[in-house]
Amino acid sequence: DAKTTQPTSMDCAEGRAANLPCNHSTISGNEYVYWYRQIHSQGPQYIIHGLKNNETNEMASLIITEDRKSSTLILPHATLRDTAVYYCIVRGAGGTSYGKLTFGQGTILTVHP
Amino acid sequence: EAQVTQNPRYLITVTGKKLTVTCSQNMNHEYMSWYRQDPGLGLRQIYYSMNVEVTDKGDVPEGYKVSRKEKRNFPLILESPSPNQTSLYFCASSSIRTDTQYFGPGTRLTVL
């Protein structure tokens, strides 16, 4: 499975966009990029996922580079409740490896008033 | 309400005393998984299951067992717990047709 690399921590002002990067240079062609977040030891929460096209939902946008070696999660208008650890993960591909998830170290995002 | 439940939520035990942490989901999901979380190490997958009677090792399976006799339940078994298994444990489930994993509230285990 492809490994991911994320910055340890980031800050963002409330109301501004938060852009969280992730490197996954060894990703294979049929592996998806997923983003989850975890607020203070609660169970992680799904945010968004994508394969190669940019994706948007009610929570965030996901931008994947053309070579798929990196991606950026965008929270368009960060709030204090978005303060959390954000995980970029690459899903195992095919057969019985489908469910095998490897979490990166995560980025601690702190949103300031 | 669609949910993943874990029991117990908190457990303090002693080295070598067998224990089971239960996980149950009411969404008819095929896929279930166990993770542990330790400071500075993030979330690490212990075991996962693609369906009934189908289980596979994650990244840190040593010292753990699982079973999947029913679709809704995926218990985590520690036959002989040791202090290095002190951790926060999460169970998760998802349908293989969607891609969203739902996580339980967590079980905080302390092994003395």
Strands B19-25 and B76-78, how do they pair? antiparallel
Residue A1 pLDDT = 57
CB-CB contact of A85 with A107 (8 Å): yes
Model confidence at B50: pLDDT above 80: yes
Strands B107-111 and B10-13, how do they pair? parallel
Tell me phi and psi for residue A46, to 5 degrees. -65, 140
Model confidence at B88: pLDDT above 70: yes
Facing A87 at nearest CB: one of B43, B54, B56 = B43
Rounded CA-CA distance B86/B69 in Å is: 26
Residue A98 pLDDT = 59
Facing A43 at nearest CB: one of B44, B54, B104 = B104
Model confidence at A97: pLDDT above 60: no
Cβ-defined contact of B99 to A102 (cutoff 8 Å): no
CB-CB contact of A10 with A108 (8 Å): yes
Residue A103 pLDDT = 73
Residue A112 pLDDT = 96
Distance from CA of B100 to the nearest CA of A (A): 6
Residue A105 pLDDT = 78
Name every chain A residue with its beta carbon within 8 A of the beta carbon of B100.
46
Minimum CA–CA partner of B49 in chain A: A99
The owner of tokens 């800050």 is A11
Cβ-defined contact of A98 to B50 (cutoff 8 Å): yes
Top residue of B101, B102, B107, B108 to mutate, by most chain A CBs within 10 Å, is B101
The verdict on whether omega for the bond into residue B8 sits within 30 degrees of 0, i.e. cis, is: yes
Q: For chain B, give the percent of residues with pLDDT over 70.
A: 98
Q: pLDDT-derived band of residue B75, with 50, 70 and 90 as boundaries?
A: very high
Q: How do residues A33-92 score in pLDDT, each as one tens digit?
A: 999 999 988 999 999 999 998 999 999 999 999 999 999 999 999 999 999 999 998 876
Mean pLDDT of B47-51: 92
* Strands (DSSP E) found in B8-97: 10-13, 19-25, 31-38, 42-51, 54-57, 65-66, 76-78, 87-94
The owner of tokens 């926060």 is B88
Name every chain B residue with its beta carbon within 8 A of the beta carbon of A6.
none
Facing B103 at nearest CB: one of A44, A99, A106 = A44
Model confidence at B23: pLDDT above 80: yes
Name every chain A residue with its beta carbon within 8 A of the beta carbon of B66.
none
Minimum CA–CA partner of A104 in chain B: B42
Residue B97 pLDDT = 74
